[in-house]
Structure 1
Amino acid sequence: MQWLLNHPMFIKNHLYVAGESYGGKLTPMVSVEILRGNEARLRPQMSFQGYIIGNGLTDPNTDFNARIPYAHRLALISDEYFELAKLSCDGRYYNRDPNNVQCLYALRRIQECLRNINQVQILGENCGFAARKPYDFGWDHTFRGDHSIDHLVLPNAEQECQNIFAISDYWANDPTVQEALNIRKGTMTKWRTCYDGISFEPNVESALEYHKILIKKGYNVLVYNGDQDMAAP
């Protein structure tokens, strides 16, 4: 909103909100806030048209429970392990019964099979930026503290994979790139792909209700998923 107030020549432009990964939750939430602001006649009035989500999270019971069927469909786990988990866990792999010993056993076997798989790009090298929580089938994102450009070169015998976050950081902090994007000098000392300095509490478990509000209003929605992402299948 503040950006539009500072650049009023763009206020009448059509506005689409977009996000990916965890932004799959934030995108419909932000969209609903814009909608409510417009309905309350707040200024500036935004020409909100819809939203776009790529490989986004929506609801953990849906998202995380889909990971094991996805892994089986792409032959990352055997029929035997999948059938054992499906029967023992009754289709509840994420929010499961902690006292179900057979289910826990089946999930541990599957976890072992997936240990070296890159969860966000199953055909890519497992560079360690998507670390799994043991036996939980929810994955944390952890990042290397070393953002040097040593990780930008192609893999070789001593270096197995690229650090995609280091690549994007290096690109975004390049002075020629910032000049081409008309970034004002001094507005940000260093750009980071995933900035962890913002304090917030993830207190919205599901974004389904936000989707329902926007779809019922008839806004344009585009949701797409890559075939190789097991984190948000």
Structure 2
Amino acid sequence: NEAGNVPYINLKGYILGNPLTFPEENNYKIRFANGMGLISDELYKSLVHTCQGEYRYEYISENNIECRQNLELYEKLIKLPTQKLLNEHHSASSVYCPIYKSYVVNYWVLEASVREALHTRKGTISEWKRCAENLNFTRTFYDVRPKHQYLSKKGYRSLIYSGDHDMKIPHHSTQAWIRDLNYSVVDQWRSWKVH
């Protein structure tokens, strides 16, 4: 809109679910894995002590053998044969979604009531895919917290949410980068439950 491009988009805000936001995101996976019982308290404490909060291999000294060994053990413990499990029972699509294999959403999003709730004009979307088969992009931002601050200052509202069982982007990291924005708390933390 600021560039004067048309059509003008009457954007009020944005919603992000489990967003990849800043470079240190992976450092929160260790805490999450321990909280979910995927690694022992002993391994967690050893990782915290030996790696000192940095769990990305490229930033760990090659001389820090104990940290690297702990990370190797961590990787073995959290590795699941998810692709094999998913492929054995689900073959409805040739598209491989790297995070979630969800076929129901394709039908759900095309429902008239859903389109109406999302204010999607008729005829604008004939087919919706959860994952693009060939998506070419170049990552230009590794830390988007400044972008969130910019949009907030412009008056755009945001709803950021995280699932409690998503290890790809743990809810701990989402809470951490939101805290980094230094906004005052308007509404206290609360859990969202589906019954």
TM-score range, shorter chain: 0.5 to 0.7
TM-score by length of 1: 0.55
Q: Which whole-Å CA distance do the structure 2 matches of 1:68 and 1:107 have between them? A: 9
1:114 correspondence with 2:85: no
Change (3 A) 1:220 1:92: same
* Deviation for aligned residue 1:40: 3.6
Deviates more, 1:70-79 or 1:103-112: 70-79
Q: Which amino acid aligns with 2:22?
A: D
Aligned with 1:52 (options 1, 5, 15): 15
Structure 2 match to 1:194: 131
Question: C-alpha distance in 1, partners of 2:49/2:76?
Answer: 19
Runs of 4+ aligned structure 1 residues displaced above 6 Å come to 178-181
Q: CA deviation at 1:89?
A: 0.8
Deviation by residue 1:101-146 (Cα, 9 ceiling, x = unmatched):
1111011111121112xxxxxxxxx6328xxxxxxxxxxxxx96x9
1:215 is matched with 152
Cα distance between partner residues in 1 of 2:146 and 2:124? 38
How many angstroms does 1:202 deviate by? Answer: 2.1
1:82 is aligned, of 44, 59, 62, to 44
Counterpart-to-counterpart distance in 2, 1:184 and 1:44: 15
Give the distance between the partners of 2:15 and 2:112, measured in 1 at CA: 28
Structure 2: give runs of 5+ residues left out of the alignment: 94-99, 116-121, 171-195
Higher strand share: 1
Partner residue of 1:101 out of 43, 65, 76? 65
Q: TM-score, normalised by structure 2?
A: 0.64
Matches within 5 A, 1:128-207: 128=83, 148-149=91-92, 164-168=101-105, 171=107, 182=122, 192-207=129-144
Identify unmatched segments of 5+ residues in structure 1: 1-36, 117-125, 130-142, 151-162
Which whole-Å CA distance do the structure 1 matches of 2:140 and 2:29 have between them? Answer: 23
RMSD: 3.3
Cα distance in 1 between the residues matched to 2:6 and 2:124: 26
